[in-house]
Amino acid sequence: MAALIPAHTVLISVGSNLGDKLDNCLQGITALTKGGLARLEGVSRFYRTSPVDYTDQDWFVNAAVKITTNLAPPDLLRHLLAIQQQMGRKSGGIRFGPRVLDLDILLIGDRVMRSPDLEIPHPRMHKRAFVLQPICDIDPAVIHPVLGRSVADLLNALDDADQQIVPLAHQPMLTKGGLS
């Protein structure tokens, strides 16, 4: 049974580079809030993004969402992993490789935690344009709780020309209630 704690704000990265990438992301966001375990508070634009680390793969579609939830961090992680599995993601494979759906917890308020299964803030978020730009769409003043810098500052400090990020021409309309 999931442990419930006082409501907290969570930023989650959403991505896909297999199949109908945008639809995979939208289905993942819908599944995240289905059943009342999380409430959608904000959503970024959707972007086409070049792969990072393992570059011999198709480009991704990425976004970020802001939710509130009463789930404890380990239970939220289990919820995200279950959604990925339901969408057809297999465990194993190439690290940073192709995926139907990727849901990563980036920040939980100003919480800092490290366990074998979960590290908050996400350990590579400050190095990823495909994470920082979508968070900036939601709130550029969000402070990285370890680095003490805003996500806008971290994005501006990135010096990696290989990380390409292009807004999708057609942006789906997502509201706090879901797709509209």
The tokens for 21 are: 């990438």
List the catalytic residues: 89, 99, 102, 104
Percent of the chain with pLDDT over 70: 87
Domains, the chain: 4-174 (3.30.70.560)
pLDDT band at 55 (very low <50, low <70, confident <90, very high): low
Is 0.85 topped by the overall pTM? yes
Per-residue burial over 79-114, b if 16 or more Cβ lie within 10 Å, else e, is: bbeebbeebebeeeeeeeebbbbbbbbbbbeeeeee
pLDDT band at 42 (very low <50, low <70, confident <90, very high): very high
Q: Which long-range contacts (CB under 8 A, 24 or more apart) does 153-157 make?
A: 154/126, 155/129
User: Using CA atoms, how far apart are residues 38 and 65, in angstroms rounded to an integer?
Assistant: 11
Q: Do the beta carbons of residue 101 and residue 84 sit within 8 Å?
A: yes
Identify the pLDDT of residue 158. Answer: 92
Q: Do the beta carbons of residue 125 and residue 131 sit within 8 Å?
A: yes
User: Would you tell me how many other CB atoms lie within 10 Å of the CB of residue 126?
Assistant: 20
